[in-house]
Chain A
Amino acid sequence: MSHGNMNLTLKVWKQKNKDTKGRFETYDAKGISPDMSFLEMFDVVNEQLISSGKEPIAFDHDCREGICGMCSMYINGRPHGPKDGITTCQLHMRSFKNGDTIVVEPWRSAAFPVIKDLAVDRSSFDRIMSAGGFVSVNTGNAKDANNILIPKDDADTAFDAAACIGCGACVAACKNSSAMLFVSAKVSQLSLLPQGKIEKQDRVLNMVKQMDEEGFGNCTNTGACEAECPKSISLENIARMNREYLGASFTQNKA
């Protein structure tokens, strides 16, 4: 394995906060190992910036193993970079060539205001979840799991939808900044299971209402979200949400 033999040029978005205008700044990333993850490369660059008395680049990260959904970099025109089915933290520098210029931008959406540099505020997703992304259950002892039988296919489909980590790559990839893939995954994972079916009408109506209020765009079925999703969430979920929303709008027994 080779160490520290890559020299790269980074063009990174710098923005003080959501109220100021941002701009690109160019950084030299020297002595980068191809075995580093993309975030580790940023750590090295930030160390160099700090030791030379400059301000480091702010970016979001947490678990660094592809499950927390925090890292959110739009790299060379693609969310989470050039590889499919992974998050930014799972992207390695061997995916780039020595001497490359890499353009790194934050997720760009009216519903994701920039907090600082590459970190964006995704609390709009949290508000969509609070609007209906839950199951109301009484507290108490956990029931025996086999009390409610669930068809294997339903369990699998629900699990595939539940793989969504809420990173927002779907919104970032969509030319319309639509959050349909995220919301539909959350609607699906609950409505496919018996415990979630009970509230499915209220859930889909409330979550879609909140999604629209947050200022996300409208889906035009380009499929960019599905292609860029680090968890490969399927477009089938969007169709499921569309028909659940249609059904709930017209049959909900409330005035």
Chain B
Amino acid sequence: MFCLIPLTHNFKYLFYTIMSKKTGFLSSSIGKKFLMGLTGLFLVSFLVIHVTLNSFIFFNDGGVSYNAGADFMAHNPVIRILEIGLFAGLLLHIFQALLLTMENRKARPTPYEVVNGGANSSWYSRSMGILGSLLLLFLVVHLSNFWVPTKIAVFNHTEHNTFAGMKEVFAQWYFVVIYLVGVISLLYHLLHGFQSAFQSLGLNHKKYTPLIKKTGIWFSIIVCALFAAMPITMFLGIIK
């Protein structure tokens, strides 16, 4: 009992260290960037699972292994809890992005007449907001295509053939186009975001930073190539 009082006090202190509106870590410019990087890397870890599981369609076995994986993801309680964390992470990432963008706009009230941004930075590193917004729009389409029907099926305790749903969506050319735009946005968002997250977390090292940068580039290309291959192969009828 005795130790409980100082313990709550300690937690309160830690809470203020992180959350205090004026002096808390997360209210500072560095804290906000830290959270941006942390949630970004968390979302990257989700991409690994997502692309791995979806790649089951490339077994080309009529969706048997893919549906088994999708069924596991839809019903496993651990995944259900992680799903809440995923949405929380996504919302936090979006919320922080809006907050940072508004602050950054305010920091330059008079714009330049001439800006030669290409001379000092990549276009996609300067366009993370636009790329992220495209991704968000894509996510609305994507979730309504797959996530919502799956949820409805789980709620009604009915069987849901996710693979069949995928074939149905990717039979329409305009969905293929939307998905490719989404994947390209993801590619460039990741090309900057992956290595940028490590920098925001303070991880910059003579030996490891070049490795992180190369890993980031290959990760972005491989993940996005696999994602892009899904609607294309299905539309062309290669995956049956």
Q: Which residues on A are within 8 Å of B, measured CB to CB?
A: 11, 13, 22, 24, 74, 76-78, 82, 103, 105, 108-111, 173, 175-178, 180, 208-209, 211-212, 215-224, 227-228, 235-236, 238-246, 249-250, 255
Contacts and interface: CB of A to CB of B under 8 A. Distances in A.
24 contacts: A11-B113, A77-B114, A77-B115, A77-B116, A108-B110, A109-B108, A173-B120, A175-B126, A208-B29, A216-B29, A217-B104, A218-B103, A219-B29, A219-B33, A221-B125, A223-B125, A240-B202, A241-B30, A242-B200, A245-B28, A246-B25, A246-B202, A249-B17, A255-B13
A11 B33 CA distance: 37
Given A77-B114, A77-B115, A220 B30 contact: no
Interface residues of B, number: 42
A77 B119 contact: yes
Contacts of A177: 104, 107-108
B106 interface: yes
Chain A interface mostly: mixed
Nearest to B204: A239
A218 B33 contact: yes
A232 B126 CA distance: 20
Contacts of A217: 29, 103-104, 106-108
Contacts of A176: 100, 104, 107-108
Interface string B10-43: 0001000100000101001111111000000000
Contacts of A240: 202, 204
B107 A178 contact: yes
A111 B106 CA distance: 10
Contacts of A246: 25, 30, 34, 201-202
B108 A221 contact: no
B26 to A, nearest CB: 9
B2 interface: no
A227 B121 contact: yes
B120 A24 contact: no
B216 to A, nearest CB: 12
A97 B25 CA distance: 50
A236 B110 CA distance: 30
